[in-house]
Structure 1
């Protein structure tokens, strides 16, 4: 099955750059004249100043110790990170609404999308999916630490959508409430905090510092487990003889710098294109994985063969590659590419149908890839996998048998020590 190892450095780099913007807010609160204190030696084409790059390096340096914490020991840190950002969002919402005054809401809420409003809404939804696509693909890296399958399901089915809707609603309301005040729509929280400090006094700078610190902590709680460690999982699974989790995470962090994330988020248009590109390329991966688990393997997993023994196991396929997966991925990706290219370069003209396929690329890519993956396994079945699925008991029974075996093995190990 496909993995997201190739996408992790880009996602990691973008999130780390946003974290650097949050650190920049903290430094700006302490030294308002930071841009003059740190002379700029960066060319305009980079889309950043030397001071911004220094803030990015500070965020990376603060993140490194967290990368070396074992995943199962990150729970308390993640609790603190999540609670901090929720509190900040509530405070920002109250402040924006209470201090809005006669200026009222800006056009963010009342503006009409015109004849294409429906497709623009669909594109907004898919872009949001793209922002979380890497997390969707790698959620099993962390759901396996849950105490029971039910806990993992509830976290994704209830916790994720509730917070996502809450966060989006707060973002829209805060942006609309401050649009007339600052004369523009400030969608990025670091930019909003900078505007607050620029238009206020010492108290505003203090608020900006604590807001930037909360955002930095939150960004670290998102970036390290969801991107750096997730990339480490993928690399360790791909090259277990040479790379462990920490080495893989370190490689992902270093590769993220080579992706030039400051270029990817230079403008809002480019940033949205980057987010939507995740949907174009990762959606088909998700489709193949869902199809593999639900359709091909019918939720029956031979756990011991996930870690190849001497005879390679049933998931070894052809020379270690299941060729059906990349074929399904290509089939899911190709229909969205013309619209994606036209979105990146307006000079490229494509039929409107391709543009609309691109607007819903996560949905179309996932569906096409899932169907093609299942069809290829039906026409060209993997004999060992099909035999196991046909002879294995029901998924629930199989899970209980594995649990009983593991508990027995664990008890034997405890008895011998």
Structure 2
């Protein structure tokens, strides 16, 4: 393959084979392949720890990362730390916006809070620490820092490796494949929900598309995106993550403000599936212009800085704003959405916080009213029958 493609024939064929292996997993619902999740939960951490220890042993230490002095000082060091923090947050941005897809399986609304609060920061921190130490160890072993685990495992196979080395590379690679198949399955199913919700809202071919078919469409789109270009270097990957958070942070700002600030936990489940104009979520002809305006505002605050990240010459202030892209996008979209709701109040605004489905309470009140009325009718009928008996 030509160099302009961003890959070579060997790497493309490996990626294509992995893509084919991932396709059958889309066919099955998540609960039907739950045992694959169990295997992944055991094998993937074991492979990561093995990789971590193996690199430290081969390097006779953790490499120069611990002892080498910082190459930046003062404000440059501070902004470098901010950029790194944003890259870490951007890596979790999908979990922030897609949290309802997981939390909806919880037994009660607050059940998902504590597990996510502990597992997400701790899990990402441990994985990041392992990656940093492994990359640092590779600098001692091979004379250069290799950030990609795929490339590092490939280097282990150079110069006639032993059988133990071959087995170790196979075990770690196979474990990573299992982990990635599971991750692809989740991501494609989440993408399906987004795709189908858009299609249903626009009434386009709902008879022919479902979640499973949407998953295969998402898989094809993922292949057409040429994702290997994102892995050319660590800078390309972190730039992609930062750009990704620009869009997701604006969504998160609107979602959190609407639920916690505007409606304060109140919602109407029936209105989510109702096209009635008096429903909470009908808005203006089915479009919440407040959310779209806030979303665009959250993106615009980072657009100039994003152009600078692609190599354009932009003011330093725009670069600094973009280096805090998640916080700036989240904050601007949240503030704009709140102000627009003050100027143009939407249905469902509440003054006190309480996570409750008002439509369910209304149904309960109606059923109670019907029960009371039926009891009243029964009492009336009993009195009428008694009076008739007395008359006879």
Q: TM-score, normalised by structure 1?
A: 0.79
**Residue of structure 2 in register with 1:305 after alignment:** 271
Whose radius of gyration is greater, 1 or 2? 2
Shift of 1:184: 1.1
Alpha-carbon distance in structure 1 between the residues aligned to 2:229 and 2:286: 36
- Cα RMSD between the aligned structures? 2.4
**Residue of structure 1 in register with 2:171 after alignment:** 210
Deviations 1:353-387 (A, max 9, x none): 111111110011101111111111111112x333x
Equivalent residues in 2 for 1:43-192 (5 A)?
43-101=2-60, 105-107=63-65, 110-115=68-73, 116-192=76-152
CA separation of 1:311/1:328 partners in 2, compared to 1, >3 Å: closer, same or farther? closer
**Residue of structure 2 in register with 1:18 after alignment:** none
Q: Which residue, 321, 327, 331 being the options, matches 1:357?
A: 321
CA separation of 1:325/1:113 partners in 2, compared to 1, >3 Å: closer, same or farther? farther
**Residue of structure 2 in register with 1:9 after alignment:** none
Alpha-carbon distance in structure 1 between the residues aligned to 2:356 and 2:235: 50
Deviations 1:375-404 (A, max 9, x none): 11111112x333xx46xx962454895699
Contact 1:46 1:262 (8 Å CA) reproduced? no
Shift of 1:147: 3.0
Bigger drift between 235-244 and 359-368 goes to 235-244
Alpha-carbon distance in structure 1 between the residues aligned to 2:290 and 2:242: 25
Gap regions ≥5 residues in structure 2: 201-205, 368-392
CA separation of 1:396/1:332 partners in 2, compared to 1, >3 Å: closer, same or farther? closer
Bigger drift between 149-158 and 276-285 goes to 149-158
Gap regions ≥5 residues in structure 1: 1-41, 409-417
Are 2:181 and 1:220 equivalent residues in the alignment? yes
Shift of 1:75: 3.6
Larger RCO: 1 or 2 (CA < 8 Å, sep 6+)? 1
CA separation of 1:74/1:366 partners in 2, compared to 1, >3 Å: closer, same or farther? farther
Q: TM-score, normalised by structure 2?
A: 0.84
The alignment of Structure 1 onto Structure 2 pairs a total of residues equal to 356
Deviations 1:16-51 (A, max 9, x none): xxxxxxxxxxxxxxxxxxxxxxxxxx1101121122
Bigger drift between 80-89 and 303-312 goes to 303-312
Shift of 1:132: 2.5
**Residue of structure 1 in register with 2:217 after alignment:** 251
Shift of 1:71: 3.1
Q: Secondary structure at the match of 1:114?
A: coil
Alpha-carbon distance in structure 2 between the residues aligned to 1:161 and 1:395: 27
Contact 1:85 1:214 (8 Å CA) reproduced? yes
Alpha-carbon distance in structure 2 between the residues aligned to 1:164 and 1:104: 20
**Residue of structure 2 in register with 1:285 after alignment:** 251
